[in-house]
Structure 1
Amino acid sequence: MTDVGDQLPDDLASAHAMILAERAARREAEAVAARAQAVNSHSDALIARLRLEIEKLRRDIHCSRSERKARLLEQMELQLEELEADASQWKVIQTVREKFSCRECEKIAQPPAPFHVTPRGFAGPNLLAMILFEKFGQHQPLNRQSERYAREGIDLNLLTLADQVGACTAVLKPLYELIEAHVLAAERLHGDDTTVPILAKGKADAGRIWTYVRDDRPFGGTSPPAALYYASRDRRQEHPERHLKTFSGILQADAYGGYNHLFKVARHPGPLTQALCWSHARRKFFVLADIATNAKRGKKAAAISPAALEAVKRSDALFDIEREINGLSTGERLARQQQDSRLLVDELEAWLRSERTKLSRSSPVTEPIDYMLKRWEGFTSFPDDGRICLTNNATERALRGFALGRKSWLFAGSDRGADLAAFMATLITTAKLNDIDPQAWLADVLARIADMPVSKIDELLPWNWKAKKAAIAAAA
């Protein structure tokens, strides 16, 4: 055993130098450990703020004005940040499948090939999700996508992209059918439609996109929201009759006559309850009472109608109550509607009928008054049912994408094209209603759906997918 004293130097100066060197080494080791710990603790914050690139701008460290070129003393750093974007990052993922054979039995073994949406497909789930969301969520036609990809050095022609879209919709059909069943099982639906031109020989037909939205949140329902879309080449009443043939409950919609058969007693499996939209009715009065808009018309401004202004004020009182009870349970909503809304509705009816007797047929206020009084039963069903809302704004929001998108893609090239638009709108809008990123959801679904048993496909529905992701994140 070696004595520690044998390792010490003979002179005191050398011993002192050794101690100082040991202390310096210890401090350096502690500093390295502290820096490593700091980097680890801040890594999440750096990732959250995207990728931070630090560039230091330095000038000459010696003063140019000093005769002796005195060295400058550093005082502080001023930091400036700007947001920058790189071009899309493309990559090829190569999967190697090893093949083995047995010398004794000559049996050959090889792992199965990964699933592709198209047979012998080349596009990965993230690329497919981007194509779908760009076309149906951001309303970028496939030819524009193809041009953009070409600028980035990727050759994906229009026909190739169209094939990918068709293959994806075939794979995603089970999810569409599950969403369809979920929507049509609702107690109450919002319904509406909008125009989408569909090409025909030498012309374009005024096609329609129909939507039905299930959203139970305004009356405290716990079922997840969802939207369902259909396409047709015209607006005949047979279309909503076919769409809603299995539905029974409340239909909140506008006064389109094609819905009328749905409210008849003879309908199977029973008449629907009609609930008309107060926003439509109020809007007709508001146009005649819009002081700000009239002021912009200058000399062409029409006189503000006192009757229209009064109708708007009375309607607003009902909307104030609706905002206060939004999200409450059906019973709580019904109690408030019976207590307050019913009285306001009765007073409004009496006032409208009184005003109508004072107006001539040529008066502009006559039309909105007649619009309401002829459909008064549909407008006044809400005080007797806590599930009914005042407006049909849920479907108007659901159709806003088509209203904006048709300015970009102008028309549907065929009935199949319109059907595909309705199909994908069902998936994308339902994802948005459940507060999830549609593109991320589609990418994950396309990557997993091939390996999912039919009995577990419902796990990929937006609301179930979101819940599972949240559970995994909480457990991590």
Structure 2
Amino acid sequence: MILAERAARVEAEALAARAAAVSSGTEALIARLKLEIEKLRRELYGSRSERKARLLEQMELQLEDLEANATEDELAAEHASRATTVKSFERRRPSRKPFPEHLPRERVVIAAPESCACCGSTRLSKLGEDVTETLEVIPRQWKVIQTVREKFSCRQCEAISQPPAPFHVTPRGFAGPNLLAMVLFEKFGQHQPLNRQSERYAREGVDLSLSTLADQVGACAAVLRPLHALIEDHVLKA
């Protein structure tokens, strides 16, 4: 093993020396070509000659090839001069991140067999169970809340009595607080423009135009202005 290592080291040193010699010769050739190119450029500056221009282009291409080969030789010499150890490849079993604990779990139990599949005996005892978790989502559901206000008339004075109208966040508004909060959060929290929200709602079967959503956002901004002023005053006092 020692002799083999010495032989490998001697061979690597020889390769490095040979690469260094080739690199030094290539550097000298590159320097000579650069000098001749500069001379031809100076001659072309005074007089235009197609033959000199073609010769200059050929020399520039030869110079590019020499520089590329010199770079490859330097990299090969660097790899030959240093020993590299390759680590063995270890295949790791992929591990999936567990689902969050706060999500509700719906347990679906598959009916167990009533008899043994091998001998047909019905004397079965439970050893355990395997649980497979699948992440699922419930699509968004739209609904219309109908608030019924019954009218009553007095038979004695003929006055009409009726409960007050339900509260809305915006004056004469038709959108509920959850809908308004969703629109505002997607616009300012998720950076979702109102036109894309309108298109997505239309695909879900609810027609909310861009102007309607813009009116609702503006009304919510006006309603939340006092709250914003309180927060601003609290922050600036610090």
Query: TM-score by structure 2 length?
Result: 0.51
What is the match of residue 353 of structure 1? none
User: SS state of the match for residue 197, structure 2?
Assistant: helix
Instruction: Report if the CA contact (8 A) 2:170-2:223 is conserved.
Output: no
RMSD: 2.2
* Pair 1:84–1:105, CA change in 2 (3 A): same
Q: Residues of 1 paired with 2:236 and 2:171: CA distance? A: 34
User: SS state of the match for residue 84, structure 1?
Assistant: coil
What is the match of residue 70 of structure 1? 121
Q: Residues of 2 paired with 1:136 and 1:103: CA distance? A: 54
Q: Residues of 2 paired with 1:98 and 1:109: CA distance? A: 9
What is the match of residue 219 of structure 2? 167
Q: Which amino acid aligns with 1:101?
A: S
Q: Residues of 1 paired with 2:127 and 2:175: CA distance? A: 54
Q: Residues of 1 paired with 2:230 and 2:183: CA distance? A: 23
What is the match of residue 131 of structure 1? 183
Q: Which amino acid aligns with 2:186?
A: E
| CA apart distance, 1:124 | 0.4
| CA apart distance, 1:75 | 2.3
After superposing on structure 2, the runs of 4+ consecutive aligned residues of structure 1 that deviate more than 6 Å are: none
What is the match of residue 190 of structure 1? none
Q: Residues of 1 paired with 2:123 and 2:208: CA distance? A: 57
| Equivalent of 1:79 in 122, 128, 131 | 131
What is the match of residue 105 of structure 2? 52
Q: Residues of 2 paired with 1:86 and 1:114: CA distance? A: 29
When Rg is computed on C-alpha atoms for both structures, the one with the higher figure is 2
Spell out the pairing of 1:253-402 with structure 2 (5 A cutoff).
none
Pick the structure with more strand per residue: 1
| CA apart distance, 1:78 | 1.7
Q: Residues of 1 paired with 2:189 and 2:163: CA distance? A: 36
Q: Residues of 2 paired with 1:76 and 1:128: CA distance? A: 49
Q: Deviation per CA, 1:49-83, whole angstroms, max 9, x where unpaired?
A: 443211112464333333xx223613222222233
Q: Which amino acid aligns with 1:90?
A: W
Q: Residues of 1 paired with 2:105 and 2:144: CA distance? A: 26
Q: Residues of 1 paired with 2:112 and 2:199: CA distance? A: 44
What is the match of residue 141 of structure 2? 89
Instruction: Please state if 1:158 is matched with 2:210.
Output: yes
RCO comparison, higher one (Cα < 8 Å, 6+): 1
| CA apart distance, 1:93 | 1.5
Q: Deviation per CA, 1:239-259, whole angstroms, max 9, x where unpaired?
A: xxxxxxxxxxxxxxxxxxxxx
Gaps of 5+ in 1: 1-47, 187-476
Number of equivalent positions:
137
Q: Residues of 1 paired with 2:180 and 2:216: CA distance? A: 7
What is the match of residue 68 of structure 2? none
Q: Residues of 1 paired with 2:112 and 2:227: CA distance? A: 61
| CA apart distance, 1:183 | 3.3
Q: Residues of 2 paired with 1:62 and 1:185: CA distance? A: 76
What is the match of residue 105 of structure 1? 157
Q: Residues of 1 paired with 2:163 and 2:111: CA distance? A: 57
| CA apart distance, 1:99 | 1.4
Q: Residues of 1 paired with 2:123 and 2:209: CA distance? A: 60
Instruction: Please state if 1:117 is matched with 2:133.
Output: no
Q: Which amino acid aligns with 1:52?
A: R
